[in-house]
Structure 1
Amino acid sequence: MVGASVANLPSHPFGEGAALETPSFLGTPVIASKFGLLAVTLLLRGKKKLAGFNEQMHESVRTAAPNLIITGAGTWWFPMRTTPISGWSRS
C-alpha cells in the first residue's frame, strides 16, 4: 500500500505506464490483503506455529474485548440518544 501511495505522487517517482500501474494495482487494499494472507500462511506452516498464533490471538482478543465493547456501545448510544426515535431513553 505504501508503494501505491509513492507511485501516485504527483512527481511519479517510478515513471509512467507499467511502472506506475503495477505498484498502484498491488497496493490496493484487497490485493495487499491477499498478499498479506499468503505471507502469513507461508510463515505459519510448521510445528505448532499455528497453535501458538491462535493462542496469542485468543489472549489478545480476550484482553481487548472489554475496551472494544465499551467503545462500540458508546458510539452506538450517542446517535440513538440524539434521534427522535429514541424518546424512550429520555424517560
Structure 2
Amino acid sequence: MKRDELDEHHRLYYELNFPDANTRHEWLLPRSQFHGEGPRRFYVVEATQWWLLDIGRWLIDKHDQRIEVPLHTLTCDLRGPVRMALQSMTPGSG
C-alpha cells in the first residue's frame, strides 16, 4: 500500500470506529504498526456481488431470502453516509 493510501485508510478507520476525538486519541495506533515490520495491516475488499436480506420476508416466515443488488446501481461512495451516521450517534455531535 502506498503511503498516501495508508494515511487515508488509517485516518478513515479511526474516524469511523472512534467518532469521539478523545476516545480516538486513546485507541490510536501509530501508522508504523500498519506497514513494513509492523504487525498490523489494512485490507481492502472489493465487492463483486452485493446482496440484501429481504427483512420483510424474514419477519413473516423466517425464510432467508436475499435480493441481489447490481453493483452498477450503487452510485455513491458509502464512506460519507457511514461517517454521517456515526456522527449522529455521537452525543453532542449535532
TM range (shorter): under 0.3
Question: Whose strand proportion is higher, 1 or 2?
Answer: 2
Q: Please report the TM-score for the alignment, with normalisation by the length of structure 1.
A: 0.23
Taking structure 2 as the reference length, the TM-score comes to 0.22
> Relative contact order (C-alpha < 8 Å, sep 6+): which is higher?
2
